[in-house]
Structure 1
Amino acid sequence: MVSFELSDPRHNLHSVTFIYTWDLGNGEVRKGSAPFLKYYYTLPGNYTFKLSIGTNNPQHSRMTGLYSVDLTVLDAVRSIELRGPLIYNVDESSSLSFLVGGSPPVWMCWRVLSDCQTPSPASCNLVRLYGNIFNLNYTFTSVGTYCLDLSVRNNISNLQTSYDIYVQSSPVSLLFILPCAAVIVATLIFISVSVCRPRQQSLMSKALVADRNYLSFTDIELRVKDATIPL
């Protein structure tokens, strides 16, 4: 809303009709006799707003003029989007990224609440953003449910939101399990080979001795049978 105020305490200009030409700075021009204008900009940005005042009465031509003002049109904060998962591992540095839908610069106040319990007094971490991306590195120290509260505001609006985040135990990495399993299997194989080899050698030695004894008895028996007994 933009308006032009004419100072006429003696009401000498009550009979004068002024023509207002409004240049909105985006290529659009409005013209009329009303000393105010209501307009909605569709895009944020910086605009130079100009107002030209004229009159149809030549006697008051000296009262005409051109006025201008620089306008900054901001986009209201519409959304705060968490880009990433809602499940993280305990005792690990977690990276959380947020997209703020609104015109910077903005102030962001964030806090992480364990078990979603609000501390007393309530406090938060305040940061100023000159863009739309906010990256947060945080380490969760215990397993459970957390609430991440966010509050964002710029010069024309503010928005609050909260995310429920679950923190789980860190899974054991397969890169650690597989080498350990390989070492354990190799150790068991080595122990089994070391234990079984002497037993096998002992059994083979006993079998060889028994076989030799058998051959010796047989050979003696055959010699006795083949011996010639003189008459």
Structure 2
Amino acid sequence: MKNRISKSCASQAEQAPGEEPKGACSGLCSGLYELHLVTDSPATTGAEVNITASLVASDNGSLVLPTDPHSYRFHWVHSPLMLKGKTEEAFRSTIRAVGNVPGDFPISVWVTSADCQMCQPVARSRLVLSITENIVGKLVITQNATLPWPSTYFTKTLLKTSFLLHDPSNFFKTASFLYSWDFGDGTQMVTEDSTVYYNRSIMGTFTVKLKVVAEWEQAALAAGKGIVQKTGHFSGSLKLQETLRGIQVMGPTEIQAFQEMTVTLNFLGSPPLTMCWRIKSECLPLEEHECRPVSVASTVYNVTTIIMDPGDYCFSIRAENVISRTHQYHRVQVWPSRIQPAVFAFPCATIITMMLAFIMYMTLRNTTQQKDMVENPEPPTEAKCCQMCCVPFLLETPSEYLEVVRENHGLLPPLYKSVKTYTV
């Protein structure tokens, strides 16, 4: 393998020392190997950064690396970073560099055959190294109970908030740290420990902010020793959700048929919620198709309904938020109604009113007729005849009857006729 590569690269033009080889690779040296770069950046200014280049065979299923690990040589371009060290291993090279100013710096590396350093590279690669003035690390928030959504946690459950320093070169080994925490709800604290525990009972979304200050002594050119300080600012977003621990149902347990019933539901969990309910004969969990979901924006919801038929019923409720679901039941006994429903009471009241009006009409009519009989002493003949015929049946004694007749007809005619006598 080494001979074939050297032969194919022998005709390449010479490159100036320190320059990255240019030109197209031809023959067997083209695309046979790859360079994989790994770094522990980003890093703070003054700290060492490790960059490792590994030569691997291209993924063609048949090519393997040569048995001699010294068949190839690695070449690095890292300026303006200061090189602190270089380590060569089998098909691997690692350099340690330091950046004294912040910025993004390109790092290039290529591999040539060991006996032909001026030949076309077998493989090449590059990356960009990030150097910053600040402390490098990250804020990590964990909880014993985990949720499937990122940055989502439970309320009333202890939160562990930690700062993880990124310092692979042990640059801050003599530094002392101070941590200033702001939990976004007015709670602030300053600690020397990189881990704090916090419990928040209010649901919602808030941001945890952290300021890290590191100080240490360092040799100075004039005064001998000086205090060096570096800072870093970090933040993390939290969304606290409260699981549905249950539903409190407040309502009557006994009602009458056709009576309106109002039930108040108190949800022990975080809105927004999706709720559905149904009145069933048995207390069983509601299926998806049994009721229509209703969106609830608060933790209190009122349900009003009317049950027509007497019997034992179960008020079944299902509610869920983004993290949990719960069911609740409320038994209701419905007794027969002692008051007829309005749909039947109205016709009955109408009939009774009409009957009362008819009775009053007849009463007023009879009163008016009696008054006319007293004011008009000589009614029509038919009336007189009727009165003469009916009075004997109304009066108790004959004397009363005679008195009435006298009043109506004056003097009675003689009960006998005069008989005239003629003398012949």
TM-score greater than 0.5 by the shorter chain:
yes
Residue 273 of structure 2: aligned partner = 106
* Greater share of helix: 1
Residue 180 of structure 1: aligned partner = 351
Residue 68 of structure 1: aligned partner = 235
Aligned equivalents of 2:213, 2:322: Cα separation in 1: 34
Computing the radius of gyration from Cα coordinates, the structure with the larger value is 2
Residue 221 of structure 1: aligned partner = 415
Letter in 2 for 1:2: K
**Structure 1 length-normalised TM:** 0.63
Residue 25 of structure 1: aligned partner = 184
- Secondary structure of the equivalent of 2:198? coil
Q: 1:156–1:23: structure 2 CA closer, same or farther, 3 Å change rule?
A: farther
Q: 1:229–1:38: structure 2 CA closer, same or farther, 3 Å change rule?
A: farther
Residue 4 of structure 1: aligned partner = 162
Compute the displacement of 1:78 (Å). Answer: 6.5
Aligned equivalents of 1:154, 1:188: Cα separation in 2: 66
- The correspondence for 1:206, drawn from 367, 370, 389, is 389
Compute the displacement of 1:184 (Å). Answer: 2.9
Q: Any idea what the Cα deviations from partners look like across 1:98-138, whole Å, max 9, x if unmatched?
A: 44354311232433212x35389796534332233435465
Matched, 1:41 2:200: yes
Letter in 1 for 2:164: L
Is the contact between residue 111 and residue 123 of structure 1 (CA under 8 Å) also seen in structure 2? Answer: no
Residue correspondence of structure 1 range 49-198 to structure 2 within 5 A:
49-57=208-216, 61=229, 64-74=231-241, 77=244, 80=247, 87=255, 89-90=257-258, 98-100=265-267, 102-114=269-281, 116-118=282-284, 124-125=290-291, 126-136=293-303, 138=305, 140=307, 142-155=309-322, 160-167=327-334, 168-169=336-337, 171-173=340-342, 175-187=346-358
Aligned equivalents of 2:357, 2:284: Cα separation in 1: 54
Is the contact between residue 180 and residue 189 of structure 2 (CA under 8 Å) also seen in structure 1? Answer: yes
- Percent identity, aligned pairs only, is 20
Aligned equivalents of 1:83, 1:66: Cα separation in 2: 50
- Secondary structure of the equivalent of 2:415? helix
The two structures, once aligned, show a CA RMSD in angstroms of: 4.8
Q: Any idea what the Cα deviations from partners look like across 1:129-183, whole Å, max 9, x if unmatched?
A: 2233435465645322221122334356655432223445473335554322112
Letter in 1 for 2:349: L
Unaligned runs of 5+ in 1: none
Q: Which has the higher contact order (CA 8 A, sep 6+)?
A: 1
Size of the alignment, in residue pairs? 218
